[in-house]
């Protein structure tokens, strides 16, 4: 895990700490780090946020699923649940709501350093969203032609976005409402400290590890402000084994529930031994 919030004065990202949503050009910083061990299989690159309550009731409801599913009428007349991010300058916002408006928009690039030469690591941006989200829940509007600019005509971008939804990517199958970075963000987290999948690093061959042990650098286009609510940002590299990925939540949950069950079992055993031998053979009238 690499924390790049920049709250420490010695951090390379400290200069970007008070960045705003519309900073032009974006603030950039570079953090160097060392991998002590090689990553043998496919690597998953996440971004993590702390003290960000995506589970707030009004925040979770602030979206229009019909609009995100490509319904043309909802595109121009979003749900009132999106207020106050329903319209802007008398135009409907697409996508509307607080979730979309607060979409994570830092750009992360990874490089390997060999003899002071930086080699870029290929980061795959497709395949990071759930299949059902990509192919069922999120669809672009339909109409004459496939030009997203014309399909989204009459709408405006979310307030905090630097560009409209039809310019999220240059590839048609990853643009608009079906952009996978956007889809991943729209699946809200249950806890205030969470991580979301950002990119994939695929293993090229069986002879070399995906990421060799050694020196690396992380280039960051710092666009996402978190200092105002005491939040923190981090980049996480993770891999999987035959047992799956590392997930401490399940272990903590099993231990907690098991401890509660054991405690209740002891309490009920004491109650049974203390009160279970009472004489209950009183005469019962026929």
Of the chain, the percentage scoring pLDDT greater than 90 comes to 74
Decide if pLDDT at 190 tops 60.
yes
Decide if pLDDT at 187 tops 60.
yes
Nearest Cα to 127, choosing from 80, 64, 184?
184
8 A C-beta contact, residue 76 and residue 84: no
pTM equals 0.83
Q: Which domain holds residue 154?
A: 2-249
Decide if pLDDT at 68 tops 90.
yes
Report the number of distinct structural domains present in the chain: 1
Examine residue 268 and state whether it is found in any structural domain, yes or no.
Answer: no
155: its two tokens? 């709408």
* Burial class for 278, CB neighbours closer than 10 Å (0-12, 13-18, 19+): exposed
Q: Which is more confidently placed, 14 or 21?
A: 14
Give the per-residue pLDDT at 25: 82
Give the per-residue pLDDT at 51: 95
Give the per-residue pLDDT at 245: 58
Residues paired with residue 47 on neighbouring β-strands, in sequence order: 196, 235
218-248 pLDDT per residue, tens: 999 999 999 989 999 999 999 875 555 566 7
Examine residue 152 and state whether it is found in any structural domain, yes or no.
Answer: yes
Give the per-residue pLDDT at 246: 63
Residues paired with residue 196 on neighbouring β-strands, in sequence order: 47
Alpha helical stretches, state H, 165-247: 180-186
Non-local (6+) Cβ contacts of 42 within 8 A are 200, 201, 202, 203, 210, 239, 240
Q: Which is more confidently placed, 205 or 44?
A: 44
Give the per-residue pLDDT at 147: 86
Handedness of CA 76, 81, 86, 90 (dihedral sign): positive
pLDDT-based confidence at residue 251 (cuts at 50, 70, 90): confident
Q: Rounded to 5 degrees, what angle do the CA atoms 21, 25, 28 make? A: 85
Question: What is the Cα–Cα distance from 232 to 229, expressed in whole angstroms?
Answer: 9
pLDDT-based confidence at residue 194 (cuts at 50, 70, 90): very high
Cis peptide before 95 (omega within 30 of 0): yes
162-189: average pLDDT: 94
DSSP 218-255: EEEEE----GGGT-EEEEEEEEEETTEE--HHHHHHHH
Give the per-residue pLDDT at 258: 96
Give the per-residue pLDDT at 122: 94
120-142 pLDDT per residue, tens: 999 999 999 999 999 999 999 98
Mean per-residue pLDDT of the chain: 90
HSE, side-chain direction, 13 A CA sphere, residue 84? 3
Give the per-residue pLDDT at 281: 54
């Amino acid at each position: 895990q690499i924390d790049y919030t920049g709250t420490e004065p010695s951090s390379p990202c400290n200069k970007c700490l008070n960045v705003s949503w519309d900073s032009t050009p974006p603030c950039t910083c570079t953090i160097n780090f060392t991998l002590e061990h090689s990553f043998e299989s496919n690597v998953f690159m996440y971004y993590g946020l702390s003290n960000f309550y995506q589970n707030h009731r009004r925040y979770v409801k602030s979206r229009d699923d019909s609009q995100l599913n490509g319904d043309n009428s909802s595109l121009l007349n979003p749900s009132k649940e999106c207020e106050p991010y329903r319209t802007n300058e008398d135009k409907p916002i697409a996508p509307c709501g607080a979730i979309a408006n607060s979409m994570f928009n830092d750009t992360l690039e990874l490089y390997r350093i060999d003899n002071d030469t930086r080699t870029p690591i290929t980061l795959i941006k497709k395949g990071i969203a759930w299949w059902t989200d990509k192919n069922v829940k999120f669809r672009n509007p339909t109409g004459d032609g496939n030009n997203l600019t014309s399909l989204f005509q009459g709408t405006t971008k979310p307030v905090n976005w630097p560009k409209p939804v039809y310019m999220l990517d240059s590839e048609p199958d990853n643009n608009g409402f079906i952009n996978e970075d956007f889809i991943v963000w729209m699946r809200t987290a249950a806890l205030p400290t969470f991580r979301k999948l950002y990119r994939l690093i695929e293993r090229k061959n069986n002879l070399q590890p995906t990421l060799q042990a050694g020196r690396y650098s992380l280039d960051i286009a710092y666009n996402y402000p978190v200092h105002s609510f005491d939040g923190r940002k981090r980049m996480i590299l993770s891999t999987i084994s035959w047992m799956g990925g590392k997930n401490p939540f399940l272990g903590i949950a099993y231990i907690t529930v098991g401890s509660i069950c054991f405690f209740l079992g002891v309490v009920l055993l004491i109650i049974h031994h203390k009160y279970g031998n009472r004489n209950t053979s009183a005469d019962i009238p026929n």
